[in-house]
């Protein structure tokens, strides 16, 4: 007896897929050009006083292969050119979630803490049964909420650095120019860490989600629904 083919479920709207891949491309360029800019002054603080903040890359020059722009002006040009597409695609995605009400499915709430722990135990093979979930499990909700918040911090700290005089109130919220620059730098590594975890989770736990982000269709069954 042959097994019945797995059902195809419509999962991602075309606008979601478009903004997802555009953000991935633009963010890669932003990170690479940001590393080029960092190379112009590889410390946090003034030339006389260093900020007492952790920075394992203090004084480090990143390889040319991961930098974009070639020199400071080139890195700045790329960074500024890619900043607006990143903002536009991000706002477009958020606008779509708000207009369709899908933000409710992605927002991490206090009640998701326990399901997120259970899902993590399942991924670590410390739990045999897959926890109940809907379209997105609690860990995915946490990831979506985290990345949106991180994107907002990155954009706002970027503007605080770009216009520290005109937007002095924003710069002050981050603790001043040097701390705004530091938080902007930290956001880079959080984006990189998130991407590595995201890609690993897709490849190891749910490979069917990759083609669904290309075609919009998910072939398979969700473990269970709320």
pTM: 0.84
* Residue 163 pLDDT class (50, 70, 90 cuts): very high
Task: Please give the Cα distance from 2 to 36 (Å, whole number).
Answer: 56
* 68 and 139 co-located in one domain: no
pLDDT of residue 220: 63
How many CA atoms, within 13 angstroms, populate the side-chain half-sphere of residue 164? 10
- Name the token pair of 222: 């969700």
- Per-residue model confidence as pLDDT tens digits over 84-121: 999 999 999 999 999 999 898 889 999 889 988 888 78
pLDDT of residue 148: 92
Angle at 126 between CA 121 and CA 128, to 5 degrees: 95
* 58 is a domain residue: no
* 190 is a domain residue: yes
* 76 and 132 co-located in one domain: no
Name which of 56, 60, 70, 66 is nearest 29 in CA terms.
66
Name which of 58, 77, 66 is nearest 35 in CA terms.
66
Angle at 201 between CA 199 and CA 205, to 5 degrees: 135
Average pLDDT on 167-173 reads 97
- Per-residue model confidence as pLDDT tens digits over 63-73: 999 999 999 99
* 97 is a domain residue: no
Point out the least confidently predicted range of 149-163, 166-180, 192-206.
192-206
- Per-residue model confidence as pLDDT tens digits over 6-63: 667 777 889 989 999 999 999 999 999 999 999 999 999 877 778 889 999 999 999 9
| Residue numbers of the domain that contains 33 | 9-41+63-87
Per-residue pLDDT at 5 exceeds 80 = no
Per-residue pLDDT at 226 exceeds 60 = no
- Name the token pair of 214: 């290309």
Per-residue pLDDT at 223 exceeds 70 = no
* 163 and 205 co-located in one domain: yes
* 35 and 121 co-located in one domain: no
Alpha helices in the chain (DSSP H): 14-38, 72-100, 103-106, 113-123, 138-162, 168-173, 177-205, 209-215
User: How many domains are contained in the chain?
Assistant: 2
Task: Please give the Cα distance from 211 to 55 (Å, whole number).
Answer: 38
* 71 and 135 co-located in one domain: no
- Name the token pair of 26: 């633009």
* 141 and 75 co-located in one domain: no
* 158 is a domain residue: yes
* 21 is a domain residue: yes
Last residue of one domain, picked from the residues 52, 87, 122:
87
């Amino acid at each position: 007896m042959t097994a019945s083919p797995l059902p195809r479920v419509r999962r991602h709207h075309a606008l979601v897929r478009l903004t997802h891949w555009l953000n991935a491309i633009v963010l890669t360029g932003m990170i690479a050009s940001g590393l080029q800019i960092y190379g112009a002054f590889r410390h946090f603080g003034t030339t006389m006083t260093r900020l007492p903040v952790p920075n394992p890359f203090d004084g480090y020059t990143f390889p040319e292969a991961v930098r974009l722009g070639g020199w400071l002006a080139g890195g700045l040009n790329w960074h500024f050119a890619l900043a607006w597409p990143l903002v536009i695609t991000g706002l477009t995605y958020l606008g779509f979630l708000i207009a369709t009400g899908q933000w409710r499915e992605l927002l991490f709430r206090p009640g998701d803490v326990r399901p997120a722990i259970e899902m993590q135990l399942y991924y670590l093979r410390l739990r045999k049964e897959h926890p109940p979930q809907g379209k997105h499990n609690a860990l995915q909700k946490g990831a979506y909420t985290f990345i949106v918040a991180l994107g907002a911090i990155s954009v706002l700290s970027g503007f605080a650095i770009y216009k520290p005089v005109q937007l002095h109130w924003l710069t002050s919220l981050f603790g001043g120019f040097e701390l705004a620059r530091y938080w902007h730098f930290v956001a880079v590594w959080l984006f990189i860490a998130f991407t590595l975890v995201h890609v690993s989770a897709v490849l190891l736990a749910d490979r069917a989600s990759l083609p669904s982000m290309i075609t919009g269709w998910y072939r398979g069954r969700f473990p269970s629904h709320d």
